[in-house]
Amino acid sequence: MRGRRVLIGVSGGIAAYKTAEVVSNLVKAGAEVQVMMTEAATRLVAPLTFQALSQNPVYTTLLAEPKRYNVEHVALAQWAEAALIAPASANFLARLAAGMADDIVTAVLLAADCPVLLAPAMNPAMWRKPSVQANIARLTGWGYRVVAPGSGRVACGDTGVGRMAEPAELIARLEALFTGEAPLRGRHVVITAGPTREHLDPVRFLSNPSTGKMGYALAAAARDLGARVTLVTGPTYLAHPVGVEVVPVVSAAEMHAAVMARAGDADVFIGAAAVADFRPKHQEGAKVPKAEAATSVELEPTRDILAELGAAKRPGQVLVGFAAETGDLGAKVPAKLRRKQCDLCVGNDVTKAGAGFGHDTNEVVLYYADGREEAVPMQDKGAVAALIMQRATALLASRA
């Protein structure tokens, strides 16, 4: 960290006291640190604490007499090589996601081009709220990186996901930004996402409720680890992730063809798409009038992309499957993992509130080919995706 210019933003959360440790350890490691605080943060920890630890003036207001620079919010933004907002409160995330610049911290971030890490901290019920998760999804979509909150007892006494990540993890994430840690650089990751549509005729199709959120989050996470990413996606309403090759398809047959044409050199394949298992045996080229429409449809199986890749797996390649199940995951997912010859299969019980199709959050269990299991608690799909990519990266490294 020696000589690195790190800008710390503190918003109003009890975890602000832990940020003092972050600043202290960054300075000890040789970084240049400047601190800016929201008004709420100054009520929880005195600016003087951060001034003493950073050995620099602390910025608390947008329109005060300049301490050091003429246009402080622009100068601070240009000075920073990286920024960390810790804690990032629910209110702060909402203001940032709304594009506001009504205090020194949001104004600096709006003017900044450097990478920004957000370390959310709040009560678990607040963290689960769709509004908070929507703000997180919006911010990560814009390139902000989120250090997912941990699980445990929070300041108000409740237990759950919402504790700010520990100072050591925050410093490790900052270090990774500077060392350009990109464990998947030079690797190709192919991901499927979204539903498929199996048309009966041009205006009618069979499909499922997948929105692509899980697969798109995986594509962004793989990109952030330095991979070249190909995202083969069924129809969704999501914005294409920046820096990812996106291949739109409609049917299972198109998805199969698109994957097979691109997965030959894939180091990691992840099947997050909800691919139709069956399609109508006959597809009409023109709309069938209601009076002539059949009341039953003859179906035929589609080709199983993941199973075919599993059967032809190259040495060193890592295959990650998903399994959308209802009920007992342990009874179903390991069998699916073996049948499709995956290295890792992500089981989600889609009957659980907040998990599976359409939600911004997911709760999953990871099943490994060697019999290990890992429960991943309910959190936003970006955080779940980051964790799955970490595990896939470790599997890849263990094969090298």
Q: Which residues are catalytic?
A: 156
CB of 59 to ligand PMT, least distance (A): 39
CB of 270 to ligand PMT, least distance (A): 8
Q: Which residues, including other chains, have CB under 8 Å from residue 166's CB and lie 6 or more apart?
A: 18, 150
- The beta strand positions in the chain, using DSSP E, are 5-10, 32-37, 58-59, 82-88, 116-120, 145-146, 150-153, 159-163, 188-193, 198-201, 204-206, 228-233, 245-248, 268-271, 278-280, 299-301, 318-325, 344-349, 361-368, 373-380
Give how far Cα 240 sits from Cα of 147, 193, 217, Å.
22, 12, 11
Q: Which is nearer to ligand PMT, 73 or 340 (CB)?
A: 340
336 is written with which tokens? 């699916």
CB of 227 to ligand PMT, least distance (A): 19
CB of 210 to ligand PMT, least distance (A): 4
CB 244 within 8 A of CB 216: no
3 state DSSP class of 200: strand
C-alpha to C-alpha distance for 382 and 142, rounded to whole angstroms: 13
Give residue number: closest CB to ligand PMT: 271
Q: Which is nearer to ligand PMT, 12 or 212 (CB)?
A: 212
CB of 235 to ligand PMT, least distance (A): 11
Q: At what angle do helices 213-224 and 381-399 cross, to 10 degrees?
A: 50
Residues that bind ligand PMT (CB under 6 A): 192, 194, 210-215, 252, 271-275, 277, 302, 304-306, 321-324, 336, 348, 350, 356-358
Q: Which of 241, 240, 245, 236 shows the shortest CA–CA distance to 263? A: 245
